[in-house]
Chains A and B, each alone.
Chain A
Amino acid sequence: MNTPTPPPDAPAIRCRGLRKRFGQTEAVRGLDLEVRRGECFGLLGPNGAGKTTTIEILEGLTAADAGEVEILGLRWERHAHALRARLGIQLQESELPDKMTVEEAVRLFRSVYPSGPSVAELIARLELGEKRRTQVRHLSGGQRQRLSLACALAGDPEILFLDEPTTGLDPQSRRMLWEQVERFRAAGGTVLLTTHFMDEAETLADRVAILDHGRILVQGTPRELIRSLGGEHVIEFGTSVPLPAETLLALPGVSEVGREDGVRRLTVREPHLVVPALLDLLQQRGGGLTALNMHHATLDDVFLAKTGRQLRDE
């Protein structure tokens, strides 16, 4: 086997012009991405945005129709085996035989990597000690995800790929998983994760790319993206009389006006100035508020501003 020698400063992940079509649907439509070493990068988007297809192409599990992929400066076509030993992968769906115990599964995965922590260390680190002899089918969702993470970490990877790691988990399990990811980061690891939870992306990711219909809409740090809205607060309200958009834009510190299902949305810098002004305006017109809601702007609002749709269309 040839020992590949990539440039030492190569980014952890780089892809250009990625495309993938499944029958009639174009899942990925020209996607460029660069993830630096030591970074946690989040692919955020609704179901069907192409997140899983993208991450599986980067993981070397799905072949792209077009485009280039470089992982740690290496190519899947030539260096698959060397790359596999340096990556940790968690797939979206359950992936371990039901009748295997926790310890057996960890031992199997540990056995295929040339180096890494011991089985006991992995089990202790993922807090699975009590479940060591429990079969996979008897584990809770959170325990399964932790086991799956233990298997992904078995080879002491340089990059960790996580596909929707906390979907379907209870809040406590989510926080436990987040801690594990933070811990991996703290040791210098690179993470690429997909999620449709904006809070997950905001908590874990240094940088985020928002995907929709197989393309990147925007990317940057969560703060940058939220700032790009022009204000960091969102006011949503309903009124008994119509208020034209121009009038609302004239209010102090309002940078964007939107409407959705009869509810007005304002993106504002200083809500304490906007709300009294809004009430004055309504009083002049002889109307009142029928609903009012205020929150800090999130990545969800960024997605809404870009697409006119909610990130989570349940």
Chain B
Amino acid sequence: MSSPSPLRELILMRLRTFVREPEALFWTFLFPILMAIGLGLAFREQPAEVARVALERGSGAERFLGALRASPELEARVLEAGAAAAALRRGEVALVLAGRDTLVYRYDPARTESHTARLRVDAVVQRAAGAARPVATREDRERQRGTRYVDWVIPGLIGLNLMSTGMWGIGFGIVYMRQKKQLKRLVATPMRKSDFLLAQVLARLAFVLLEVPPIVLFAWLAFRVEVAGSLLAVALVALLGAMAFAGLGLLCSARPRTIEGISGILNVVMLPMFVLSGVFFSASRYPQALQPFIQALPLTALNDALRAVYNEGLPLGSTLPELAILAGWMVLSFGLALRLFRWQ
């Protein structure tokens, strides 16, 4: 009879207990998508706004009304002096044109849209009056692909998600089994500790296959975020990242006996990465002195590597330093977990 493999059975146990927990499943997949929707909405592309301006009736500005109305970036109307002043006060117009031979631009310098309106109005007025354009210019409004905020933030969200599902999933799973004395029952068998721990890490790989593609797909459908590099490269980076965080999750759960205990540890370990590792804004904003520390964090390495292949379309080979950092974390944390792990 071919004897079944303990490693295989342990992996299946982990997968089954997770898949049969509908709530855990729901949040694992829904959370990153909700996050992407939120950030996508906040940083969506906005159409260029039309600047509203008013011309005082009877002022010298009235002769430029036709030119101003012809500009698609401006909406001009003629108002009595009193009404124009009121409209400016109420924010209905960004700028009032007055004066006779010398035109007057009346606006509140604290309002940015007023500055925009002033620049646009002045350009139209000067050109209509026959001003020469000493420098020839041309507009190139083609957007660079993958340079929007949402393009940049999606790989960060994938990295964040790999960290949090990996560490919470493994941490809670193991401490729960310890609390319920399930680990005690397992240690009363000839099962090897390394098999048990390895099964937790390998089971994570299966979850990554379920977790990451929905985010990638959603980002493309909703925001047209494209994977510039190869999908395989993204998958490999994600898998390595997941294994590094699985190792860290094992290490964190090596000893705690209660869910409260592991929650505290996980928060302490993850919070610095949440803040420093360039999930929502670039890690380069932090002082130079902190950079060696920040760059050594596994989430920084994962995010950088993901962005390199996801946004910039670089080959996997260009992310070797980051991959080495992730592999280092994986080996170190797994080795330590193996030494420190307690069943009871």
Contact = CB atoms under 8 A, between A and B. Distances in A.
Nearest to B20: A99
Given A84-B190, A85-B190, A100-B16, A107 B185 contact: no
Interface stretch (B68-76, B176-184, B227-235): B176-184
B12 interface: yes
B9 to A, nearest CB: 4
A111 B6 contact: yes
B4 A107 contact: yes
Nearest to A113: B190
Nearest to A62: B344
A91 B181 contact: yes
B188 interface: yes
A118 interface: yes
Given A85-B190, A155-B189, A107 B9 contact: yes
Interface size class of A (residues with CB under 8 A): 20 to 34
A212 interface: no
Contact of B3 (A84, A93, A97, A111): A111
A95 B189 contact: no
Contacts of A95: 180-182, 184-185
A59 B190 contact: no
Nearest to B191: A112
A107 to B, nearest CB: 6
A104 B11 CA distance: 12
Interface string A94-113: 11110110001001111111
A110 B3 CA distance: 8
B10 interface: yes
B181 A93 contact: yes
B22 to A, nearest CB: 11
B19 to A, nearest CB: 9
Interface in B155-200: 177, 180-182, 184-185, 187-191
* Interface magnitude class on chain B: 20 to 34
B46 interface: no
A263 B182 CA distance: 46
A12 interface: no
A114 interface: yes
Contacts of B182: 95-97
Nearest to A137: B20
A284 B8 CA distance: 81
Nearest to B177: A97
B121 to A, nearest CB: 69
A61 interface: yes
Interface in A99-145: 99-100, 104, 107-114, 118, 135
A61 B12 CA distance: 26
A111 B9 contact: yes
Contact of A99 (B5, B10, B17, B185): B17
Contacts, number: 74
Interface in B282-305: none
A95 B5 CA distance: 21
Contacts of A108: 6, 9-10, 12-13
Contacts of B344: 61
A272 interface: no
Contacts of B21: 99
Contacts of A113: 189-190
Contacts of B5: 111
Given A84-B190, A97-B177, A111 B4 contact: yes
A78 interface: no
Interface string B1-37: 1011110111011001100110000000000000000
Contacts of B177: 97
B338 to A, nearest CB: 15
Contacts of B185: 89, 91, 95-96, 151
Given A93-B181, A108-B9, A111-B9, A81 B16 contact: no
B184 A61 contact: yes
Contacts of A112: 6, 9, 189-191
Given A111-B3, A111-B4, A104 B190 contact: no
A114 B190 contact: yes
A61 B185 CA distance: 9
A107 B6 CA distance: 9
Nearest to B12: A104
Contacts of A84: 188-190
Contacts of A97: 13, 17, 177, 180, 182
B211 to A, nearest CB: 20
By CB atoms of chain A within 10 A, which of B6, B13, B187, B188 has the most? B188
Nearest to B188: A89
A281 B300 CA distance: 94
A108 B191 CA distance: 10
Contacts of A155: 189-190
Nearest to A86: B190
A111 B13 contact: no
A85 to B, nearest CB: 4
A81 to B, nearest CB: 6
A110 B8 CA distance: 12
Interface in A36-80: 59-61
A64 to B, nearest CB: 15
B341 to A, nearest CB: 15
B184 A81 contact: no
Contacts of B13: 97, 100, 104, 108
A151 B9 CA distance: 14
A289 B124 CA distance: 122
A81 B190 contact: yes
12 contacts: A84-B189, A94-B181, A95-B184, A96-B185, A99-B21, A108-B6, A108-B10, A108-B13, A111-B5, A111-B9, A113-B190, A155-B189
Interface of A: 59-61, 81, 84-85, 87, 89, 91, 93-97, 99-100, 104, 107-114, 118, 135, 151, 155
Closest 5 CB pairs of A and B: A95-B185, A84-B190, A111-B4, A112-B191, A99-B20
